[in-house]
Amino acid sequence: MHDRMLAAVNPTRAPLAALPEDIALPALDESWRIEYLSTKTGRIGVMMEQSGRLTVYGAVTDHDACRAVLIRWLKCRTREELVPWLYRLAEQNGFRFSEVLVRGQKTRWASCSSKGTISLSYKLLFLERDSVRCVLLHELCHTALMNHSRRFWTLLCGLEPNCKAIHKRMRDGWKQVPAWVEGRIERGPSEKGFVWQKGGTR
């Protein structure tokens, strides 16, 4: 369902941001130091060298491409970590869903369709673990009840007693998503290079 409960992004935001030197992922309890390595290879890639170090290599003066590759990496971490977490929670609590997609929704942390397809935003990586768990349980509850009725909340609160407090706290959760993630690069008219603007490219 188009989930107003899990609205993620404040549309009035207008960030100006450079590429990140660090990426903290509270959902995974991880923090990454990013290095940009200019190499002659035409394409841009990303390498997880050792725990906590990430190297973006290639034509790194192309900030747009750097950002795209970092977002691809975020989607990858979501598939590696949050998707299996969703499967575990489904199994533990007796829910079934048909498939799970990782996306970059502009305004939702997650959603569940009437056909049982759960979509997760990679931006969940920037929330605390208890918030993410609550979002995953919220969508799993929608596989049983496609509404926010009293029965829905009874079901969700039975699985996560703090769910209402967590949802309330998550109203400000969009602030935890770094500007470089939400920003869209536009090539400026001058030598100054790139300008980040509000809005996504997904």
Give residue for tokens 């750097």: 66
Q: Looking only at residues 49 through 78 of this chain, which bind Zn ion when binding is defined by CB under 5 A?
A: none
d(CA 14, CA 199): 8
Least distance CB 99 / Zn ion (angstroms)? 18
Q: Which is nearer to Zn ion, 5 or 76 (CB)?
A: 5
Least distance CB 146 / Zn ion (angstroms)? 9
- What is the size of the binding site for Zn ion (CB under 5 A)? 2
Q: Which is nearer to Zn ion, 5 or 157 (CB)?
A: 5
Q: Which is nearer to Zn ion, 3 or 160 (CB)?
A: 3
Least distance CB 82 / Zn ion (angstroms)? 17
What is the longest distance spanned by two Cα atoms in the chain?
A: 59
Give residue for tokens 């997609």: 101
Q: Which two structure tokens, joined as six digits, stand for 175?
A: 């602030």
Q: Is 7 in the site for Zn ion (CB under 5 A)?
A: no
Least distance CB 5 / Zn ion (angstroms)? 4
Least distance CB 3 / Zn ion (angstroms)? 4
Q: Is 5 in the site for Zn ion (CB under 5 A)?
A: yes
Least distance CB 149 / Zn ion (angstroms)? 11
Q: Is 144 in the site for Zn ion (CB under 5 A)?
A: no
Q: From its phi and psi, is residue 140 left (phi > 0), alpha (psi between -120 and 50) or beta?
A: alpha
Q: Which is nearer to Zn ion, 70 or 86 (CB)?
A: 86
Among 2, 3, 27, 143, which residue sits at the site for Zn ion (rule: CB under 5 A)?
3
d(CA 27, CA 88): 16
Q: Which is nearer to Zn ion, 5 or 34 (CB)?
A: 5
Contact stretch for Zn ion (CB under 5 A) within 4-12, 79-87, 113-121, 186-194? 4-12
Binding residues vs Zn ion (CB under 5 A):
3, 5
